[in-house]
Homo-oligomer: A and B are copies of this chain.
Amino acid sequence: MHSELTTTVRKLLLQRDYLGIKRALERNHPSDIAKVLEDLLPDAAGFVFRLLPKDLAIKVFDFMDVDSKQMLLRSLSSDMVATILNEMSEDDRTELFEELPAKVVKRYLSLLSADQRCVADMLLGYPEDSAGRLMTTAFVDLKEQMTVDEALEHVRATAPDKETIYHLYVISKDRKLIGGLSLRELILAPGSALIKDIMNPEIKSVFTETDQEDVARIFEDYDLIALPVVDKERRLVGIVTHDDILDIVREEDTEDIHLMGGLGAPEETYFNLTVFEDVKRRGGWLALLVLLSSLSSNILKAYSASLEAAIALAFFMPMLIDTGGNAGTQSSTLITRGLATGEIDKRHARTILLREITTGFILGAILGGFAYLRAYLMQGDTMIGFAVGIALFVVLFIANLVGALLPMLAVRLKLDPAVMAGPFLTTTVDVVGLIVYFEVAKVIMGLG
């Protein structure tokens, strides 16, 4: 969709048909125009951006990704930058400022009006990934003594500057949040009714410090469009709107998936990362993992007498460590995801322990039996069959349990459980698995 539009714009740029560009873009959704600007080279993007009518330009800017916003701002005049920064939505501005060097933020803050500078300073003052960073102060507030007609008039008068008008918040004289109602309820109520009689006093809210994951969870649980944010004195200071929530859920899930994939937390999307940055990021983790797994070389060397006595033991090493790794990956994935979606929390540690002991035991017994058969049939030797079968049972049992418990431990230590669910788990399990294997083999086969 937007890639065709990009092609059209590029063609018109070459033909210097600037009016044509303006006309082609204007008919499109700001989100699509934003994608076109992201695709163009910075100078061209700046040029095309200046062709847009001001109101549209600001909407387009809000839809651009943070990197493209930064680049675009660099190519615009101070006047234009000041207009955008003053009129863009407050939550997007906070997100942008978070990414910029302190010096640039300082300069940009000086371009804001006194009011907006005050708001921007306040929002940047909240901790990273908190509700305060996500919120906007552009909400509609009502007084409890207003009539429905007065409230509707107030909504109409202030609507153009507000992030949403579909949820309205009722505050006391000292600005404490005392209730809320939807525009739908307001429209359906009789004009002379008082707000305090139709508002819902049990409205959900979060604190400025509430973590964004918890904010997202509340949006999910209550199917919200907006959620009010209060300070420690329960004064209403902002609202978080639904459009930020999908981004957070995606971000958090991407972070979990990358951690579980042994990539560390994602800094950038695939194409925004240069090959060099990518190599640095992946290489660091891979090197650590190589170091960890190379411990297995020393372990095996220590068992070289056993290996030499029964070279066939080596044949089943990969199957054994693969299965341990796979079982650990399964249980750690289940628990980590359960923790992320909120189904599991730290109170469930005991339940999970008991359950995974059972699951690991059954799975270990079945697959251990299979491994016995596999080794016995291949080597025609009962003892090696027993050694492989029993070792697989023990390794699978341990790996499954460790995979389930490590994420629970991570939660208690206030670490991200996803780190524990990735290659670190499988690599550690491999090292442990080899020790189990050779100890079991030594006992059963009577090796030295």
Chain A residues close to B by CB (< 8 Å): 27-29, 31, 63, 155-156, 159-160, 165-166, 183-184, 187-188, 202, 204, 219-223, 225, 242-243, 245-247, 249-250, 253-254, 256-258, 260-263, 269-271, 275, 278-279, 282-283, 285-287, 289-290, 293-294, 296-298, 300-301, 304, 307-308, 311-312, 314-319, 321-323, 325-327, 329-330, 332-338, 341, 343-344, 355, 358-359, 362-363, 366-367, 370-371, 374-375, 378, 396, 421-423, 426-427, 430-431, 434
Contacts and interface: CB of A to CB of B under 8 A. Distances in A.
B319 A297 contact: yes
A360 to B, nearest CB: 10
Given A165-B184, A366-B283, A374 B261 contact: no
Contact of A363 (B263, B270, B279): B279
A312 B335 CA distance: 38
22 contacts: A166-B166, A225-B242, A246-B249, A249-B253, A254-B341, A257-B260, A257-B336, A261-B332, A262-B333, A286-B363, A289-B323, A290-B322, A293-B319, A293-B322, A294-B371, A296-B319, A297-B318, A301-B312, A304-B315, A314-B314, A318-B430, A426-B426
In this complex, the member of A225, A344, A434 whose beta carbon has the largest number of chain B beta carbons within 10 angstroms is A225
Given A257-B337, A269-B338, A304-B311, A326 B160 contact: no
A244 B246 CA distance: 11
Given A166-B166, A261-B333, A300-B318, 18 more contacts: A183-B183, A225-B225, A253-B257, A260-B260, A260-B261, A261-B337, A261-B421, A278-B359, A285-B330, A286-B323, A287-B367, A293-B318, A296-B318, A297-B378, A311-B311, A322-B423, A329-B423, A426-B426
A434 B319 CA distance: 12
A430 B322 contact: yes
Contact of A333 (B31, B260, B283): B260
Contacts of A423: 322, 325-326, 329
A-B CB proximity, top 10 nearest: A261-B333, A223-B243, A293-B322, A296-B318, A253-B253, A300-B315, A297-B315, A270-B338, A314-B314, A326-B423
Contacts of A318: 293, 296-297, 300, 317-318, 321, 430-431, 434
Contact of A220 (B246, B330, B338): B246
A390 to B, nearest CB: 15
Nearest to A313: B314
In this complex, the member of A187, A330, A334, A370 whose beta carbon has the largest number of chain B beta carbons within 10 angstroms is A330
A41 B23 CA distance: 63
A275 B355 contact: yes
A391 to B, nearest CB: 13
A329 B423 CA distance: 8
A220 B34 CA distance: 14
B250 A341 contact: yes
Contacts of A341: 250, 254, 269
Given A159-B187, A330-B261, A338-B269, A289 B166 contact: no
A51 B418 CA distance: 43
Contacts of A279: 359, 362-363
Contacts of A358: 275
Contacts of A363: 279, 282-283, 286
Contact of A308 (B243, B287, B311): B311
A247 B260 contact: no
Nearest to A336: B257
Given A183-B183, A296-B319, A326-B262, A254 B371 contact: no
Contacts of A243: 223
Contact of A297 (B221, B316, B343, B370): B316
Nearest to A321: B318
A28 B355 CA distance: 33
A323 B31 contact: no
In this complex, the member of A160, A260, A279, A337 whose beta carbon has the largest number of chain B beta carbons within 10 angstroms is A337
Contact of A29 (B204, B282, B370): B204
A90 to B, nearest CB: 15
